[in-house]
Structure 1
Amino acid sequence: MVDADEIIDEVVGDEEMGEATGLDPTEAVDADDEPTGLEDIEPDVPERTTFLDYLRSPIIQLVVGQGAEQTTLSAHQALLTKSPWFAAQVDVFSKTTTTPRTIDLANDDLQATSSVLEYLYKSDYYPRMTGTQSMEYDTTVPQPDNDGIGLLRHARVYSLAQRFGLPALASMAHRKITLTQSTARGEIAYARFVYTETSPDDITIRKPVAHFWATRSHVLRHEAEAEFKRMCLEFPQFGYDVLSLVLDQQEKRSARAEAQSTAPASGRKRQRVSGIVP
């Protein structure tokens, strides 16, 4: 039989030990709650956005074109907001519940806008890239392409990508421009679009256009002289850019010719001709 005095002595002893150590003897120490020292070095894993998350986002209506040509396209908000320009438009919707979720693109090209949406969903647009230096054959472009349809298609995508803040798409469209075949008249149509729709500071797309015509004077004389003349009169900056490159090339040729004419003579002696007649 257990003595009551012994039980009391044990309880009092446990309490005194708890006071000495600062621990509550009634609380058990859980080893899992103790710090391991690894809390600060464990990486934070970012939350992954899945394609399903994009599809669950609200639908935005894009009204493209005007009059009889007006068309309404639909796109998921989470994909559209990859573009800073579209993100700013969508931000208006979050501030008011009365505004319809519609974005007006009355002055934009339907085909180019569709290509932008295709890129946002698929990371490419038709005709798709098949390598770093090749792309699909575009069956919708006539051959020969005297109207520059293929070049203008990618140029319009480039212009929209610049406006919507999608530099990767702009780079892709520019790459497709360099891979597109055309004719002299098609190139003039493309040059007219570039000098009408792009910023004078955008040398990425403007300089290659001027360089193309500066290095192809034989094409101008035989295939598109009249169109080239009209282009220069309509866009003096285009004529100036081409002339500047032509003059630069002429200066380089002159400098090379001058360097060759002033080069020091060879140190080898000229062969002496004997005066003896056989």
Structure 2
Amino acid sequence: MVVGQDQRLFAAHEDVLSVSPYFGAALKEQFLKDGAKQLALPEEEPEILSCVLEFLYKGDYFPRLLHGKRRDSWYLENAHDIHNTGGRGSSEATFFHPAVGDVVLRDTVVYCTAEKYGLEELKRLALRKQGLQSGIPADVILRSARFAYDNTPDSESRLRAHYLALIIRSRKTFKRSGTMQMEMENGGKLFFDLFVAMCNHMDDLAEMR
């Protein structure tokens, strides 16, 4: 596979890639060239494709989702040490996305990529991992939410609902955010959905009284 604007090369087995309906269909249309098939993915980010391939081979991507038996809770591998990765890639929650021109949440991009490639289990994994992140700045959350809306179909609800709930829960922080004001002035479906979600939230509170 030739990936990204820098044309990074990735190798993978056809039977592994074919777990994805997207790759399966694309590979059927390819002819052998020098004993191998070649896929061009110029719009894909190498770091994200690396996560996808790791998931296809291992069922997870770094940092792995681990279960703590003592507290019966889930956590991310090396969550408190972003520099100790063992050479397996970044464990930071964000990465710079050239198409966005700024940093976004990595798990959001993985989720959107999994949506494109038809990998439902990877979507569930990415969403669960994102739910374990904390201390993310408001501007990164809003930028990532807009990315999610721009890169998922209207029928997709889980990731969008995650962001709406997150913004509502953190409304005091977002109310003071200049980025929030600027984003709302720019508009978009994200903020209509947020308005509806907040109205529903207020209705639920009224019914509880």
Fold shared by both chains (TM-score > 0.5): yes
8 Å Cα contact 1:146/1:183 also seen in 2: no
Structure 1 residues without counterparts, runs of 5 or longer: 1-61, 258-278
Q: CA deviation at 1:168?
A: 1.0
**Considering only aligned residues, what root-mean-square deviation do their CA atoms show, in Å?**
2.6
The answer on whether the counterparts of 1:146 and 1:184 sit within 8 Å (CA) in structure 2 is no
Return the offset for 1:117: 0.7
2:59 to 115, 118, 123: 123
Supply the distance in 1 between the matched residues of 2:180 and 2:10 (Cα, whole angstroms): 38
Give the secondary-structure state (helix, strand or coil) at the position aligned to 1:102.
coil
Q: Return the alpha-carbon distance in structure 2 between the equivalents of residues 75 and 141 of structure 1.
A: 23
Within the candidate set 188, 191, 196, 1:236 is matched to: 188
Of 183, 195, 200, 2:137 maps to 183
The answer on whether the counterparts of 2:115 and 2:152 sit within 8 Å (CA) in structure 1 is no
Q: SS of the counterpart of 2:44?
A: coil
CA deviations 1:117-140 (Å, max 9, x no partner) are 111111111000112621213514
1:70 corresponds to: 7
Unaligned stretches of 5+ in structure 2?
68-72, 83-89, 97-101
Alignment of 1:253-268 (within 5 A): 253-257=205-209
Residue identity matched to 1:178: G
Query: Is the CA contact (8 Å cut-off) linking 1:192 and 1:231 kept in structure 2?
Result: no
Alpha-carbon distance in structure 2 between the residues aligned to 1:190 and 1:200? 16
Which of these two proteins has the greater Rg computed from alpha carbons? 1
Q: Do structure 1's residue 170 and structure 2's residue 132 form an aligned pair?
A: no
Asked if 1:193 corresponds to 2:132, the answer is no
Tell me if the contact between 2:105 and 2:141 (Cα under 8 Å) persists in the aligned partners.
no
One-letter code aligned to 1:244: V
Q: For the Cα contact (< 8 Å) 2:109–2:148, is it kept in 1?
A: no
Q: Is the 8 A contact 1:214 1:243 kept in 2?
A: no
Which one has the bigger helix percentage? 1
Kept after mapping to 2: 8 A contact 1:155/1:173: yes
| Conserved 8 A contact 2:54-2:60 | yes
1:89 match? 26
Q: Distance in 1 between matches of 2:32 and 2:152?
A: 36
Query: For residues 242 and 230 of structure 1, what CA distance do their matches in structure 2 show?
Result: 15
Question: In structure 2, what is the equivalent of residue 133 of structure 1?
Answer: 74
| CA shift in 2, pair 1:83/1:249, >3 Å | closer
Deviation at 1:105, TM superposition (A): 0.6
1:256 CA displacement: 3.9
Q: Does 1:210 align with 2:155?
A: no
Aligned twin of 1:264: none
1:186, CA displacement in angstroms?
2.2
2:113 counterpart letter in structure 1:
L
Match of 2:48 in 1: 112
What is the SS of the residue equivalent to 2:60?
Answer: coil
Instruction: Please give the residue correspondences for 1:7-46 in structure 2 after superposition, counting only pairs within 5 Å.
Output: none
- Pairwise CA distance, 1:146: 11
Q: Higher RCO, 1 or 2 (CA under 8 Å, sep at least 6)? A: 2
Structure 1 residues 146 and 186: CA distance shift in structure 2, 3 A: farther
Distance 1:115 1:256 in 2: 43
* Residue 65 of structure 1: how far off its partner (Å): 0.9
- Listed one character per residue, the Cα deviations across residues 84-139 of structure 1 (whole Å, up to 9, x for unaligned) are 2111122123xx55696110111111101011111111111100011262121351
Is the 8 Å Cα contact of residues 75 and 132 (structure 2) preserved in structure 1?
yes
2:138 is aligned with what amino acid?
A: A
Cα drift, residue 211 of structure 1: 1.7
2:106 maps to 153
What's 1:249 paired with?
201
